[in-house]
Amino acid sequence: MTTTSSVLAAQATDFPRWYQDVIAKAELAENGPVRGTMVVRPYGYGIWELLQGAMDRRIKAAGAANAYFPLLIPENYLRREAEHVEGFSPELAVVTVAGGKELEEPLVVRPTSETIIGEYLAKWVQSYRDLPLLLNQWANVVRWELRPRLFLRTTEFLWQEGHTAHATAADARAYATKILYDVYRDVMVNVLAIPVVAGRKTRRERFAGAVNTMTLEAMTGDGKALQMGTSHELGQNFARAFDIGYLSSAGQRELAWTTSWGSSTRMLGGLIMVHGDDAGLRVPPAVAPVQVVVLAVKDTVLEAAQRIADELIAAGVRVVVDNRTDQPFGRRAVNWELKGVPIRVELGPRDLAGEVATVVRRVHNTKSPVALSDLTTTITSALTADQSHLLTSATTSQHARISAVTTVAEAIEAAADGWAAVPYDAVGESGEDQLAESGITIRCLQREDGTLPTEDNEPGLTAFVARSY
């Protein structure tokens, strides 16, 4: 909420400040009254809705069904899985009074729902025929944050959390991996235009209660890493704690294997940090609530502006007409640029007389006159091209900023301004401690061929090392 200037901080000078400025000036979000909470404003929420739709369709295609579990969890549920409670205890918000009375047992505001969903999986899974049981929920969760940052780390955030039960470890692993690739990576790459590196977390970075955490990591404009989504194999930890068992086809009682996986409003932070530039946001067309704004320069062109919009809307484009001709044109144009609307169609009386409009593409900042008769075709193909341009350009910068190094010392140096790819054999758990002292983490481990290791101690792994948000 800067009031001193209408310009953003420069990315190169102060990236975190630029990030804050963009969020405020593009009217994406604001701080809530309680420290660390967030108000998502309509423009930010509009992006979230499109992202959510894309994610939800893929989750359903992967066979999971949506359900809804309660926000308030009896405190004793969390205690049933030792690592889980240890990991989450410092972050809990606790309801102790309700209906005017002190509660006998405090209730935790869900920080994640493995425990409460585990309780119901145990009821619903009886026989091998009930497996796999594949659930997802869209919900808010609360984790008390010490260093909150809008979208990236907020005390309350919106997310989806999937929870599944399987008959075998192999089936659980296959499903958690499918979610990572076919749902999360597909959305991030093909909808958000964000290239992500897939890998396995080290034990230190694993989800509390998991036997394996798989992650997708994006590179921000300042060369740091951002965890965009994770998928966990929970082994039989929660199955044991909540007694999720089943009768096998051989009539034997067996413990199930469970998974959980989540992606959140944090992805919007990724979108801003990956695609934004010094002029503001650049929203990929696939999640742009406004793909095209038609800017009427003067009142006399309003009718023509509306006709252009109608034709685009009929072609399935999301369009807004900016008819605020009583306000300075330059200020309006800058505002839409800030908001990262992919295409501006500027229409003045002279354009109209010449039967053209000026098309400005946010992604390249190019400006060119286009005949009104070609406008819809030009724009629909520009939207497709600009979506893929954002991905290509983010991929190129990501590759350019990953340095292949061979020692921990070199990795620390490289992480000052990008990521390092270093042989995990040269790091190990002691090297990981050393990195941590410099505020650097192993983001994930990958095999040489880019696939995911199934064990921490496989030889020949590459560690991606970076500072992170």
Among 11, 14, 17, 71, contact with its own copies (rule: CB under 8 A): 71
Burial of 218 (0-12, 13-18, 19+ CB in 10 A): buried
Q: Which stretch binds its own copies (CB under 8 A): 72-80, 171-179, 206-214, 232-240?
A: 72-80
Q: Cβ of residue 118: shortest distance to its own copies, in angstroms?
A: 11
Which residues inside 188-247 make contact with its own copies, applying CB under 8 A? none
Site string for its own copies, 152-191 (x = CB under 8 A): ---xx-x---------------------------------
Q: Which stretch binds its own copies (CB under 8 A): 10-18, 67-75, 210-218, 230-238?
A: 67-75
Nearer to its own copies, 148 or 348 (CB): 148
CB 170 within 8 A of CB 177: no
CA 319/CA 309 separation, integer angstroms: 6
Nearer to its own copies, 131 or 196 (CB): 131
Residue 66 binds its own copies, judged by CB under 8 A: yes
Identity of residue 14: D
Q: Cβ of residue 29: shortest distance to its own copies, in angstroms?
A: 9
Site string for its own copies, 107-126 (x = CB under 8 A): x-x------x--xx------
C-alpha torsion angle, residues 123, 124, 126, 127 (rounded to 10): -170
Among 62, 93, 279, 426, contact with its own copies (rule: CB under 8 A): 93
CA 14/CA 438 separation, integer angstroms: 20
Residue 106 binds its own copies, judged by CB under 8 A: yes
Q: Cβ of residue 94: shortest distance to its own copies, in angstroms?
A: 4
Helix (H, G, I), strand (E, B) or coil at 340: coil
Alpha-carbon torsion 292, 298, 302, 308, what sign? negative
Q: Please provide the DSSP assignment of 155-200 as one string.
A: SEEEEEEEEEEESSHHHHHHHHHHIIIIIIIHHHHHTS----EEEE
The residues pairing with 227 across neighbouring beta strands, listed in sequence order, are 217
First to last CA, the chain: 21
CA 429/CA 439 separation, integer angstroms: 15
Which residues inside 17-56 make contact with its own copies, applying CB under 8 A? 30, 32-34, 37-42, 45-46, 48-49
- Judged by the rule CB under 8 A, the positions of this chain that interact with its own copies are 30, 32-34, 37-42, 45-46, 48-49, 65-74, 77, 89-100, 106-107, 109, 116, 119-120, 135, 139-140, 142, 144, 146, 155-156, 158
